[in-house]
Amino acid sequence: MKFEAHFFKRQVPLLLLVILLIMAIRSSIIEPFRIPTRSMLPGLMMGDFLFANKFEYGFHIPFSESFANAPIYLGGTTMPKRGDVVIFTPPEAGQESLYIKRIIGLPGDKIEFQHKQLWLNGVMVQKFEVTGDERNSILNHPGFDPEDRYNKEKLHLYHETIDHHTYTILEDESFESMRNEQELVIPENHYFVLGDNRDDTRDSRVFGVISFNSIRGRAFVVWLSYRVSMNDSHWSFRAERIGKLIR
């Protein structure tokens, strides 16, 4: 018994050190995140688990966002780019709430929406509709809409391009919101973000721009994907999505 107590006493500090190291890595280097909503369809699906690069925009002291209310960076920072998919704390929620959206506008940019058409600094952002087999392949994926939320006849997919960065967005002609008629200039150190599922998302059109300090990291890869249907509790594992790079 004495040996076991002595062994346990010796292992506790090591165990605590390992836990602290894991927490420090999660705070400053890489952090897992689960997609809880449909806001980033079609590229990211509910039930996707991904990793976020925490030092993409600069290395910060572990846990500094907790005790200083903002990350304390070492060696300077790098500005996020248009098209980056980021995880952040939204202005409308507490520190424990995390959203994932795509950066569309940088500090000083002028953003406009006219009938679902995005304009950036007075230039219409190009988008081209996805049709045929490619459209059918996306909309008929079992992870796209397992609960039949959408009328697929009213869905439109587009390849949108900003700064030579092309990604796919989703629009639903069933919805037309006043938030699609907006114009603003982004203030210093802030960013305008949108969900790729443009008509089923809470983004900067609702809660405003986000600050640099609210960004937790850039999402870069899916490492696990599964979904449990709310209708019949059916569990589905999506192996083909593992390793998918986020663009």
Q: Which helix (H) or strand (E) holds 130?
A: strand 127-130
pLDDT in tens, 133-191: 999 999 998 888 877 889 999 999 999 999 989 999 999 998 875 466 678 999 999 99
Rounded distance between C-alpha atoms, residue 42 and residue 27, angstroms: 29
Q: Which helix (H) or strand (E) holds 9?
A: helix 2-28
Q: Do 41 and 143 touch, CB atoms closer than 8 A?
A: no
> What three-state secondary structure class fits 209?
coil
Give all domains of the chain, ordered by start, each with its CATH number: 2-241 (2.10.109.10)
pLDDT in tens, 121-148: 999 999 999 999 999 999 998 888 877 8
Residue 140, pLDDT score: 92
Q: Do 15 and 33 touch, CB atoms closer than 8 A?
A: no
> The tokens of 49 are what?
């688990």
> The tokens of 21 are what?
């190291």
Rounded distance between C-alpha atoms, residue 192 and residue 194, angstroms: 7
> What three-state secondary structure class fits 221?
strand
pLDDT in tens, 58-117: 766 666 666 666 676 677 788 999 999 999 998 876 656 899 999 999 999 999 988 889
Residue 147, pLDDT score: 77
Longest dimension (CA), the chain: 76
> What three-state secondary structure class fits 188?
coil
> The tokens of 39 are what?
């806001």
Residue 233, pLDDT score: 59
Q: What mean pLDDT is predicted for residues 13-41?
A: 73
Residue 3, pLDDT score: 47
Tokens 């400053």 correspond to 28
Q: CB neighbours (10 Å) of residue 174?
A: 12
3-class secondary structure per residue, 87-121: EECCCCCCCCCCEEEEEEECCCCEEEEECCEEEEC
> The tokens of 88 are what?
């952040």
Q: CB within 8 A of 59, min separation 6: which ones? A: 28, 73, 74, 75
Rounded distance between C-alpha atoms, residue 210 and residue 193, angstroms: 8
Residue 55, pLDDT score: 77
